[in-house]
Structure formats: C-alpha cells, structure tokens
Amino acid sequence: MKLCLRCGATFSGKGWRCERCGYDPPRVDGFPSFAPELAQGHAGFDPAHFAELAGLEAGNFWFRARNRLIAWALGRYFPGARRLLEVGCGTGFVLAGIAAAFPALELTGSEAAAEGLGFAAQRVPGAALIQMDARHIPFRSEFDAAGAFDVIEHIEDDRAVLRAMREALVPGGGLLLTVPQHPFLWSEYDVRAHHVRRYRRRELREKLLEAGFEIVRMTSFVTLLLPLLYASRLAQRAPNADYDPLAELKIAPWLNSLLETVLDAERVLIRAGLSLPAGGSLLLVARRP
C-alpha cells in the first residue's frame, strides 16, 4: 500500500494522489518527490559526484563483486520475492544488477538527490523511481524485499530508516543491507563520502533488533583485502589538498582484475556458509516477523 505523508492514509492504485485528502506529490526532474527540500543535494552525498561515479562503477572491482554478492543473497534468502524496494539507489548500478539477475522482479528505487535518479532511469528503465527521504518511506506493507547498500551510514538517524524500511515490508519480508565496517578504518575517505559512522557488528545487530527485525545472516566481506585497505586508510589520515575521494575507484586494470578475483573467492566462502569475522564491509540479511 502507498502511504500519504500528509494525512497518513494508505491507498492503492497506479497514481500517487491520496484517496482521502487529495494530496498529489510534486515532481522533481520528472520523478514523484516526497522530500523536495532534499532533491537538489543534501548532507549525505555530494551530487556532483554522480556523473563521475556512474562512469566508474561498472568497471570497478568492488562495485562488481558487491553486486554479485547482493544478487546471491537475494536469491538465497528471499527466492520468492516479487517486489523489491532499494533505498538510496544512487545511479542505479545495484538496481540494474538485480534487474539482470531477476528479470521478473518488480523494482522500485528511491534516492534523496534527484540527479541520481536520472542515471538510474537510464540504467533500469523498467523500474519505478521516486525521490524521498529514507526516514519517511511512503509505503506500508508493500514489498517482499528491501535493500539499502552503503546508504544508512550517511544518515544520522539510521534507526528511523530501519523502522521505515520495516514498515514498507510485508510480514515475512526480507531486508538486505551492506555498510562500511570498523571505526578504526575511519579516514579522509569517510569524511569526503559524508559518512556519519562506520559500523561495529554489535551496533548494527542491536539497531536491527530494536527496529523489529529478526537477524538471518551477518557476515563481513572485503576480508582478504583488509590489510591493504587498512594501509590505504592510514595514508589518508593526512591527505593532500588535492585529495580525490574517488581515487580508490581509479586503479590499473590488472590490479582491478586481481582484486575482483579475491572478492569473488570470498563470495565462494560466504556461499559455503562461512560468516567472515572481519572486513571492510558488512552484509546483513534480516526478516520482518
């Protein structure tokens, strides 16, 4: 069901006009907008990076390997899902990966910055796309699965996002999250990426339980590369004035290929049932009771 953020009514149908109060959200850049004050950029991400990021994601080892891990987790834990919401879909790279892996899935993507939705519309023309504040999701009991992939670390009130995602899921619906892990890895990269935090496992688990989820699986990834990542982040604690926050995505093709092979090997271990204890990122799978 759709939720009117003005009067709180729920309703169905193709359009967004509330059947109770008649409110019809405005459109920003052609997309239904539920938080227009955030549409042109906000503290969680610099919209100026969308164009460059969109050009780098498809060739970068980390984005490619993460997409395969997400697709595996979705198929493994929620094989019957018919409708999926991605919160913070950015340029649509993950959404496009999910669409390729599960062509029958009905996809909805959301983003606070309208500029990102333009790229997502090109990558996933069949998806429904909306501009919104992740803390106020305009759905109730609508989706079989929902995901937020390296999103909630950008938001101060991540608890509100998790509660809103729970409400958007049907009972028994599944949640997939990826987040950056280990506060000791904090560096200029996190500052420039507008991160609020890097997570500890226990912190994320407690927040999910508090929001009303049941934990199904939690594992680290980017584990085998953790020493390399740590060395890189140490070097960034005293960055040059011309520091490039996207520099980690611009690496030699041979190295990119090697690192992707390492992360693919990690996925084999995760698929075999091993939950890796440490790593640059966390994957969490949960379910709404």
In the chain, the amino acid numbered 167 is E
From the CB of residue 43, how many other CB atoms can be counted at a distance below 10 Å? 12
Q: What is the pLDDT of residue 266?
A: 97
Tens-digit pLDDT profile for the chain (289 aa)? 999 999 999 999 889 999 899 999 999 999 999 999 988 765 555 666 777 788 889 999 999 999 999 999 999 999 999 999 999 999 999 999 999 999 999 999 999 988 889 999 999 999 999 999 999 999 999 999 999 999 999 999 999 999 999 999 999 999 999 999 999 999 888 988 889 999 999 999 999 999 999 999 999 999 999 999 999 888 776 666 677 767 777 889 999 999 999 999 999 999 999 999 999 999 999 999 9
- In angstroms, the CA 49 to CA 245 distance is 9
2-287 adopts what CATH topology?
Rossmann fold (3.40.50)
Q: What is the pLDDT of residue 185?
A: 95
Give the pairing of strands 281-287 and 169-180: antiparallel
Q: What is the pLDDT of residue 238?
A: 66
Q: How many CA atoms lie within 13 A of 177 on its CB side?
A: 28
CA–CA–CA angle 265, 271, 276 (5° rounding): 70
pTM of the model: 0.94
Token match 């938001």: residue? 155
Q: Which residues contact 128 (CB under 8 A, 6 or more apart)?
A: 106, 107, 108, 109
Domain ranges of the chain: 2-287
